[in-house]
Amino acid sequence: MRVLVIGSGGREHALVWKIAQSALVDKIFTAPGNGGTQSQGAINTPLADNDIDALAAFVRKEKIDLVVPGPELPLTLGITDRMRAQGTACFGPDAYGARIEGSKAFAKEIMARTHVPTASSAVFSDARSAQSHARKMGAPLVIKADGLAAGKGVVVARTDEQIRQAINDIMTARTFGPAGDRVVMEEFLEGEEVSLLCFCDGKNAVPLPSAQDHKAARDNDQGPNTGGMGAYSPAPILDDNGLEKMTDIAVRPVLKELAAQGHPFVGVLYAGLMMTASGPRVLEYNARFGDPECQPLLMRMRGDIVRIMLDCINGKLDPNSVVCSGQTALGVVLAAKGYPGDYSRGHVITGIDRAEATTGGIKVFHGGTTVRGDALVSNGGRVLCVTALGDDLEQARKNAYAAMERIRMPDSFYRTDIGIKGIRHLAGQEG
């Protein structure tokens, strides 16, 4: 088979790495890919992930058998619809199904219809009405840009001034462009977040082990929201024994509703959950693998991911094919100084070979990298995700940070506390 992976981040490198292990695959292309996908043996092609016409033409020209979109944008733009129209298998929902991520208001409508527990909310299309409602509600509130904002369009506003500023930034200053045409204003929920990702074939959902992302830029969940600074799997707050029950609560009702609307959801449906004192609440849905959750999850996954993807597309997903190692995996993101704000590119990166030689089953997944001459250089905000296996969370964490210490890149930073929440949770259980 000839496979095209769309995207350029760490998730896409992880997908290429896992797809390359399939006996079904002869050649892998990436659009546009990065330095890591290139080193993995994929053929990078300079096509943007939002250029659906060019991607469709490339698929025809290269006789691609399977398309795997990594990020949400091509899905919301209808890459799956286009591939189906020209007879090419595509692992992802159609544009209608992808609205579950592309519009937070749409997701709220689906949750209300299917009685999925979530935060109470209101939707506004003009700043004046939003500000008026916010004054009545008072802090704290969560303010979300309705559309896609690369994982950064959510503000947890803890004061009235932060609420006012968030609405102004999103709706008036247009910080996130058209994504801010509407805002979703939600009640603030206390608890711990966890990610539940499921393979879906339109009718059935099979959960992967839980994962926990770390969105804030700095240690102790301080600083602005990012695309994700690290993740680990499993998350002790949702162990394997609770996966089926949580899938019944958060995923299967949505799958049934979308199928009833004539848009069976195929691909990965990701529920971002808040585990509150009164039970789980869905914060958001994604219509694809998370980044960086994808990296530790695929490190743990056994079996042939391409067969699983094809089974999903054909409506024949076998729960027994989704098998994961009992080990823990943890990934730490190395980011460019200034991210998620302004940052410079072109910094030389060294030490990856030494890092991958460290004890602990290390794999360094590339996000924002490119090859310039003989050098690997930075080309984005989230540059690498150093991912390690371990027999438990403490060991995986130790292995990942030992590997990270071997990597050198000027003007870079990383969080030093990835996995600490899980370790504290386990300590509490043991106590």
> Which CATH number fits the domain that encloses residue 333?
3.30.470.20
143-152 as b/e, with b when 16 or more CB fall inside 10 Å?
Answer: bbbbbbbebb
Same domain, 16 and 138: no
pTM of the model: 0.94
Same domain, 256 and 377: yes
Same domain, 220 and 73: no
Residue 111 lies in a domain: no
Gap between the Cα atoms of 244 and 241, Å rounded = 7
Residue after which a domain boundary falls, among 95, 115, 147 = 95
Among 68-72, 171-175, 187-191, 225-229, the range with the most confident prediction by mean pLDDT is 68-72
Among the listed residues 25, 40, 108, the one whose alpha carbon sits nearest the alpha carbon of residue 285: 108
Gap between the Cα atoms of 331 and 155, Å rounded = 24
**Mean per-residue pLDDT, 323-342:** 97
**197 Cβ contact list (under 8 Å, min separation 6):** 207, 208, 211, 268, 269, 270, 271, 289, 290, 293, 297
Same domain, 334 and 420: yes
Same domain, 306 and 200: yes
Whether 151 has a pLDDT exceeding 80, the answer reads no
Question: 28-32, 225-229, 289-293, 316-320: which has the minimum mean pLDDT?
Answer: 225-229
Same domain, 174 and 268: no
Tokens of 174: 């247009």
Residue 49 lies in a domain: yes
Place of tokens 């310039």: 372
Whether 429 has a pLDDT exceeding 80, the answer reads no
Gap between the Cα atoms of 361 and 319, Å rounded = 27
**Mean per-residue pLDDT, 363-371:** 97
Domain that holds residue 157: 126-181
CA 387 from centre of chain: 15
Residue 60 lies in a domain: yes
Number of domains in the chain: 3
Residue 204 lies in a domain: yes
Gap between the Cα atoms of 77 and 148, Å rounded = 11
**Mean per-residue pLDDT, 82-108:** 97
Per-residue pLDDT band at 428 (split at 50, 70, 90): confident
Residue 259 lies in a domain: yes
State residue 431's pLDDT score: 40
CATH of residue 81 = 3.40.50.20
Quick check: helix, strand or coil at residue 414?
coil
State residue 10's pLDDT score: 98
pLDDT tens-place string over residues 296-322: 999 999 999 999 999 999 999 999 999
Average pLDDT for the chain: 95
Please give the angle made by the CA atoms of 287, 292 and 297, to the nearest 5 degrees. 80
Quick check: helix, strand or coil at residue 256?
helix
Contact 387, 365 (CB under 8 A): yes
Could you tell me where the DSSP H helices lie in 121-280?
A: 127-137, 160-167, 243-250, 252-260
Same domain, 131 and 207: no
Sequence letter at residue 64? I
**248 Cβ contact list (under 8 Å, min separation 6):** none
**Mean per-residue pLDDT, 194-210:** 98
Consecutive H or E run containing 74: helix 72-76
